[in-house]
Chains A and B, each alone.
Chain A
Amino acid sequence: EVQLVESGGGLVQPGGSLRLSCAASGFTFSNYWMTWVRQTPEKGLEWVANTHPGGGQRSHVDSVRGRFTISRDNARNSLYLQMNSLRVEDTAIYYCARDPFYGALDQWGQGTLVVVSS
């Protein structure tokens, strides 16, 4: 059974940092693009970042570029999102998801909540 389990969310002050993790199991992790998507009541679903199966190619949406970094460790079947210089508007549920091709996200984790507030 495919499983994606996020962790690392929590309450952080503006300007702070958090590192989200996503533990994958039940499939060959190194064969898939992986993605972070976030969700807020106000903006709905927003694509945050994705990474090539080998990890060498990464893309980040403009609103987080330079502050967030997606990475992966294929030996540990894990996906990460390093979030620095956090802003109030980064408050969201963050999901990791598997991408077999061009955004066709076929497996999602349960999400981890990040709250940026003073």
Chain B
Amino acid sequence: DVVMTQSPLSLPVTLGQPASISCRSSQSLVHSDGNTYLHWFQQRPGQSPRRLIYKISNRDSGVPDRFSGSGSGTDFTLKISGVEAEDVGIYYCMQGAHWPYTFGQGTKLEIK
């Protein structure tokens, strides 16, 4: 199975400051169709996960533009340009290039 490794696992951030989460995969996530199926999810306290970004960098409708995704191959990053209080929660990367699809361990973002 493809192992997804996130860092850091805990991310204390001051309001208004930027934040960055790394996600590395044990194999390339480039699918045979040429697409890279790396997605990011946010889970706020007490809520179900919610998709933020799909295929590396495509932001979902309603997701603030302070969220951005980048990367290629096996190395990916989620960035928040200026953290707001509503961003508190756990962030997961997930790969859909190889079965079984696998998630990272999650990064817990909190306000310092």
Contacts and interface: CB of A to CB of B under 8 A. Distances in A.
A37 B106 CA distance: 15
A44 interface: yes
B96 to A, nearest CB: 3
**For chain A, which range describes its interface: under 10, 10 to 19, 20 to 34, or 35 or more residues?**
10 to 19
Interface stretch (A16-24, A66-74, A80-88, A97-105): A97-105
A104 B48 contact: no
Interface residues of B, number: 25
B41 A105 contact: yes
B55 A46 contact: no
Contacts of A95: 48-49
Contacts of A102: 31, 35, 37, 96-97, 101
Interface of A: 37, 44-47, 59, 61-62, 95, 101-106, 108-111
B76 interface: no
A103 B96 contact: yes
Nearest to A47: B101
Interface of B: 31, 35, 37, 39, 41, 48-51, 54-55, 60, 92, 94-97, 99-106
Given A44-B106, A45-B92, A106 B100 contact: no
B56 to A, nearest CB: 11
A101 B35 CA distance: 11
Contacts of B92: 44-45
Given A45-B92, A47-B100, A47-B101, A105 B106 contact: no
B48 A110 contact: yes
